Amino acid sequence: MERTLSIVKPDGVKKDVIGEVLKRFEGAGLRIVALKMAQLTREEAEGFYAVHKERPFFSSLVDFMVSGPIVPMIIEGEGAIKKVRDLMGATNPADAEEGTIRKDFADSIEANVVHGSDASETAAFETSYFFSAFEKFEGR
């Protein structure tokens, strides 16, 4: 059983597609085992995206991620990391496949509605970044 972190980003919350994202994950046989709404500080957003800190888009990405509330969640299931990435679609919605969340709802390569961990190490870091042991309801 694998776990991954997903986030409905500020643009997705503003567009009222939280339920749609949850439905797609659950509809793919994945299970939501932690969920909340939160608004990040700059420091928290910078820490979450620390791997990207040398990238030219970093400060704009941080501005975007603190621009409104987000909905982080932990998703559990067999092959959850890849399944969530497949449901999300490519980073740039222009490149995303038909029927993916980003193709259907994203406006730009930055405002692309959802986050999903890209590997087991990042999933472990990211799930713990947002949720304590007492907020995770795994393996039900």
The nearer residue to ligand UDP, 18 or 137, going by C-beta atoms, is 18
Which residues face 38 on adjacent strands?
Answer: 70
Write the DSSP assignment of 92-103 as a string of letters: SGGGPPTTSHHH
**52 belongs to the catalytic site:** no
Binding partner selected for residue 129 from ligand UDP, Mg ion, none, CB under the kind-specific 5 to 8 Å limit:
none
**Active-site pick, 115, 117, 123, 126:** 115
Looking at 31-39, 64-72, 78-86, 112-120, which segment touches Mg ion (CB under 5 A)? Answer: 112-120
The nearer residue to ligand UDP, 41 or 132, going by C-beta atoms, is 41
| H-state helical runs in 18-131 | 18-27, 42-48, 58-65, 80-88, 101-105, 120-130
Question: Cβ distance 114 to 21 under 8 Å?
Answer: yes
Q: Which amino acid type is present at position 31?
A: R
Q: Does 66 bind ligand UDP (CB under 6 A)?
A: no
Looking at 4-12, 61-69, 79-87, 116-124, which segment touches Mg ion (CB under 5 A)? Answer: 116-124
Of the candidates 135, 106, 130, 100, the residue with the CA atom closest to the CA atom of residue 117:
130
Binding positions for ligand UDP, rule: CB under 6 A = 52, 57, 61, 91, 109-110, 112, 115, 118
